[in-house]
Amino acid sequence: MTEDISVTEDDSVKTGTGQPQTIWQNRWVLVVGIIVVVPALVLLMLDLDSKPVPVPPQSAEEMLAIEAEMMPDSPSEELDEPGIYNARFYEVKQVVFPDDEYVIGVEVNGHACAYLLAGMNDIDQHIVHHQLGGQEFTVTYCDKSECIAVYDKAGTTAEIRNGGFSGETLWILYDGQRFEQDAEEIPLKSFPSVKTTWAEWKQQHPETLVYVGLGMSHGPTLKDE
């Protein structure tokens, strides 16, 4: 059985169901479809061509914090080393390291001395013994914990030695016992000191001496003689 289709004068199409559908209605469906589909395709193409939004760079402090979280805990290591005696010191005009490098500054009776932290990074150079302005003291630095401590040697009954690494910070070996560098129970008195930049220290103390380390581990630190 075939379906009877006829076109009337009002441009309508009649099907066997008896429901008329005009040609203009079909055209409007096509127009609406174009209006909806074409913009969607354009947006899709623009989205595919778009580049990813750049992620702002992280600060040095944030990167160090991320690295610290990813790195496993450092194992402890016991040592028994005397530290640096008879260290060599230089005048301001003899050194060339950058002004933004950090130093430990000590001033005694009008005499000033700076200790370059980068020159104390190595495990066997964390401790420097010094006599300045008639007083003796020991400068200590741990590069892993960035802890600084300067101890007064007046009245001490034993040698202040490098005891190794506790897993957190430098161990100070004193009178046969190991103490963490910043421990409150360590039986040593603190000696006045500051942590500052080389630029600030030498501006305040133009006649200062400076210790740069034994191995010159921080690039060229001395001027050619």
The domain spans of the chain are 6-49, 77-211
- Residue 201 backbone phi and psi in degrees, to 5: -65, -45
Report which of residues 178 and 97 the model is more confident about: 178
Q: How many CB atoms lie within 10 A of CB 64?
A: 11
Report which of residues 219 and 115 the model is more confident about: 115
Report which of residues 132 and 70 the model is more confident about: 132
* Whole-number pLDDT of residue 221: 79
What is the C-alpha separation between 79 and 82, in angstroms, rounded?
10
* Whole-number pLDDT of residue 60: 62
% the chain with pLDDT above 70 = 64
* Whole-number pLDDT of residue 123: 87
| Cβ proximity of 95 and 101 under 8 Å | no
Tokens standing for residue 188: 């040593």
162: three-class secondary structure by DSSP: strand
- Checking if the pLDDT of 163 tops 90, the result is yes
Strand order in the sheet with 21-22: 6-7, 12-14, 21-22
Strand order in the sheet with 189-190: 127-132, 135-142, 147-152, 189-190
Does this model's pTM top 0.85? no
Report which of residues 134 and 63 the model is more confident about: 134
Give the pLDDT confidence of 19-43 residue by residue, as tens digits: 455 554 566 656 666 676 666 676 6
What is the Cα 140 distance to its own chain's centre?
A: 22
- Checking if the pLDDT of 2 tops 70, the result is no
Q: How confident is the model at residue 196 (pLDDT cuts 50, 70, 90)?
A: very high
| Cβ proximity of 216 and 122 under 8 Å | no
What is the C-alpha separation between 73 and 52, in angstroms, rounded?
36
For 106, what's the count of Cα atoms within 13 Å in the CB-facing half-sphere?
A: 28
* Whole-number pLDDT of residue 162: 97
Tokens standing for residue 202: 């030498």
Q: How many CB atoms lie within 10 A of CB 26?
A: 11
Give the pLDDT confidence of 30-86 residue by residue, as tens digits: 666 667 666 667 666 665 555 555 556 666 667 656 655 554 466 888 999 999 999
